[in-house]
Amino acid sequence: MGNSATIPFSAHQTDQLSVDAIEEIKLRTWARKNYTEVSQRDDLWHPVILDEMLRIDQE
């Protein structure tokens, strides 16, 4: 699956990494819709996005 969509939130954009429940759901949903292979993931993506993609890897 390609990663043509814009990342909704990257960890480098803010010092505040914590998110509320609604933002977390949005990030996890984005990660599911825009799943990317491990080799193509950016370490700067928000940790919630990376975590959800890791969960997908384990499914």
**7 with 24: CB under 8 angstroms?**
no
> pTM to 2 decimals?
0.73
pLDDT at res. 20: 87
Q: What is the pLDDT of residues 1-15, one digit of tens each?
A: 444 455 556 655 555
pLDDT digit string, tens, across residues 25-39: 999 999 999 999 999
CA 2 to CA 20: how far, in whole Å? 28
Compute the average pLDDT of residues 37-52: 93
Residue whose C-alpha is closest to residue 25's, from 56, 2, 42, 48: 48
The structural domains of the chain, with segments of one domain joined by +, span 16-58
Predicted pLDDT at 35: 97
DSSP string for 7-36: PS-BGGG-S-----HHHHHHHHHHHHHT--
